[in-house]
Structure 1
Amino acid sequence: MATGTGSTYGARDHARAQEGTQVDTMPTLPAGAWPNPPAGVAPDRIVWAETVAGGNYTHKVIARGTELRLTDLAGDACAHVLLYADGRPWERLNAADTVKVLWNAYVGEGHLLLSDQGRVLASVVADTSSRHDALCGTSTAVRNTQRYGDGSPQGPSPAGRELLKLAALKNGLEPRDLPPSLSFFQGVRVVADGKLEFTGSAGPGASVTLRAEQPLTVLIANVPHPVDPRPDYVCTPLEVLAWRAAPTAPGDRLWDATPEGRRAFLNTDDHLAARGIQ
C-alpha cells in the first residue's frame, strides 16, 4: 500500500498539514492579520495584504475610496500596473491621457491616473520614490526571449505582458483588453536628444500610495523594467497593502490642484452619481 503522498489519503493529510503556514510571497488571509499595519490604519480596515515575488503577479477588485500602497522592499521591484473601472473594462487606464491632460509625463504625488473618458480612476496621494514611468509600458515575451532567453510566464524570466494576460483572464478580460501600463519604482527620463535615460530605483523601502476614485479592477506584474540595462533578470519583492478609506471630495487639495484635474473629478462624480455610487 502506498504511503505518504503516494496515496490519496496521504496526499490529503499532507495538504491539510500545511494549514496555517505562511510563505513570504503569498497573500495574508485574512488581510487584517497583516503584522505591520500602516500608522493610523486599524487592522479591520485592511482588505489586501500580499508580498509579490519578482517575476510574479497579483490582482484584486477594490472599492471606491480604497487606498493602495505599493512598497519596493529591497530596492529592485518594478510594479507594472493596470486599472479598470470594475465591471466596465472598456474604461481603463489611459497612459497617454494621464500625461497629456495633466501636462506632466512624470507620475508622482498629486498626479491623477485617468481613463480615456476624462474620468479619474485613481489619484497618487503619497510617493517617496519619484522613480516611475508612464512612457515605456511593460516587457514582452519576444523582447525577454531576446534579452534573457525566455519570456514565458512559467519560465525563469517572465515578461510583464504575459503575466498581465494571466491576471486579466482571471478577471474576465482578454489580451486585447491590455493597454500600456504604468511602471512604479523604476523610472526613465527623456534627455535633450529625445532618448530615454533609465533612472533606476530610489532604493529599498520607497512606496507609492494610490486612492481608488472608482471601484477598480487592479492588475499588477512585478518584473524588470523593459529598458533596464542590466544583463540579468533582476526583480525583488513588492509589498501590496490596501485599506478602506474615502475617495477624494470637493475641498481636498487634489480636487482643486489644477483646472484639468477638477474637471476630471467632476466628470467622475457625475458618472458615479448617475449609477448610484457615492
Structure 2
Amino acid sequence: MTTTEDIIAENRRRYEALKAQGQGHAPRALPPPSPLGLKLDEDAVLHAETIPGGWYWTTELHAGEALRLALDHGPSSVALVAWNAADTSERLNYADTVKVQWTSSLRKGRVLFSDMGRVMLSLIEDSCGAHDALVGGSNVGSNAARYPGGPHRNTRDNLVLAALKAGLGRRDIPACVTFFAPVGVGAEGRFTWNEAGRRAGDYVDLRAELDLIVVLSNCPHPLDPAPDYAPNPVTATRFKAPIPGPDDLCRTATIEAVRGFENNAAIGF
C-alpha cells in the first residue's frame, strides 16, 4: 500500500532529478543576509515614501534604479506586483520565479521573472531572507475570517485600485510576491509562519532590470497569526543602484538567471 510518505518521497526524487537536469551546472553559492543598518548613499536617493499600514503605493521604476523596502517602524509585510512599463501585458510571474530558479526561497542573489522569461527585479541586498512567493496576499474573505470589527483594507482591493489608476484592470493583476512574510512549508506540505524570521529594521533592495510600474500593498499577510489588524508603516526609497559588474551575483548565480538577462538584452536592457 502506497503511503503519504511514499508519495512525498517519490515527488522529491522526481523534483531533484528534474532540478539537476534543468540546471546543467552548479549554481553559485549565495551570501548570508545583508547586515542591519546598511545605509544608502544620500546622493543616490531619488524619492522616499512612507506607506501607512493598510495602504498602497504605486511608482515607476526605471532600469538601473532600485527600491528599498524597509521595516523602520516595526514588522510588516509588503506585497508587490509589477508590469513592464512599455508593454503592461508583460507582468510579474511568481510561479516562473519559483520554478525557473528551482526554489521558493527569495534572498540576496535571486531575481524576479516576468511571464515573458525576462528578469524584472534583482534582490541586490536583503537582511531578511523570509519572503513569500507561494501564498499570495490578503482579500476581503481572509481579513473577515481573522480580524473582528472590520472591514479592513486588504491587498487584493489595494491592487485593484492601483491597477485602475495605472489604466489597468482586474485581469491585468498578477499574483503578488510578499516581502517580510516568513512563510515556510512543513514536512507534510502545510504552510507555516515563523515570526522570528523578520525583525524591525529589516530591508530588501530591489534593482529594476526593465522599466517598470510597481505597486506595493502594506497589509497583513493571510498567515500572520497576530490577532489584531495593526500593520506598521513601511518605508519605500527609490535610489540609483550601483552599476552591476560582469560578475554581478544576481546576473550569474544560476544558468536560468543568465538566460533571463539574455532575454532582457534582446529588447535593449
TM-score when scaled to structure 1? 0.78
1:33-52 pair list within 5 angstroms = 38-42=39-43, 45-52=44-51
Kindly state the Cα deviation for residue 104 of structure 1 after the two structures are TM-superposed.
Answer: 1.1
Kindly state the Cα deviation for residue 137 of structure 1 after the two structures are TM-superposed.
Answer: 0.6
SS in structure 1 at match of 2:251: coil
Give yes or no for contact 2:75–2:198 (8 Å, CA) kept in 1: no
| Structure 1: runs of 5+ lacking an equivalent | 1-36
SS in structure 2 at match of 1:132: coil
| Whole-angstrom CA distance in 1 between matches of 2:138 and 2:59 | 21
Paired residue for 1:236?
232
| Whole-angstrom CA distance in 2 between matches of 1:82 and 1:237 | 19
| Whole-angstrom CA distance in 2 between matches of 1:93 and 1:228 | 24
Paired residue for 1:221?
217
SS in structure 2 at match of 1:99: helix
Paired residue for 1:205?
201
| Whole-angstrom CA distance in 2 between matches of 1:73 and 1:251 | 31
| Structure 2: runs of 5+ lacking an equivalent | 1-37
Cα 1:147–1:209 shift into 2, 3 Å: same
Paired residue for 1:63?
62
SS in structure 1 at match of 2:146: helix
| Whole-angstrom CA distance in 1 between matches of 2:130 and 2:100 | 21
* Aligned with residue 172 of structure 1, among 164, 167, 176: 167
Q: Which amino acid aligns with 2:257?
A: G
Paired residue for 1:117?
116
Kindly state the Cα deviation for residue 143 of structure 1 after the two structures are TM-superposed.
Answer: 2.0
SS in structure 2 at match of 1:133: coil
Give the number of the structure with larger relative contact order, counting CA–CA contacts within 8 Å between residues 6 or more apart.
2
1:5-20 pair list within 5 angstroms = none
1:261 aligns to 2:257 (yes or no) = yes
Cα 1:69–1:87 shift into 2, 3 Å: same
Cα 1:230–1:60 shift into 2, 3 Å: same
Kindly state the Cα deviation for residue 61 of structure 1 after the two structures are TM-superposed.
Answer: 0.7
Paired residue for 2:107?
108
CA RMSD across the alignment: 1.8
1:193 aligns to 2:188 (yes or no) = yes
Q: Which amino acid aligns with 1:253?
A: L
Paired residue for 2:142?
143
| Whole-angstrom CA distance in 1 between matches of 2:46 and 2:222 | 31
| Whole-angstrom CA distance in 2 between matches of 1:173 and 1:247 | 32
| Whole-angstrom CA distance in 1 between matches of 2:207 and 2:47 | 14
Give yes or no for contact 2:76–2:218 (8 Å, CA) kept in 1: yes
Give yes or no for contact 2:110–2:253 (8 Å, CA) kept in 1: no
Paired residue for 2:95?
96
Count of aligned positions:
231
| Whole-angstrom CA distance in 1 between matches of 2:113 and 2:120 | 6
Cα 1:107–1:150 shift into 2, 3 Å: farther
Cα 1:264–1:248 shift into 2, 3 Å: farther
Give yes or no for contact 2:123–2:250 (8 Å, CA) kept in 1: no
SS in structure 2 at match of 1:117: coil
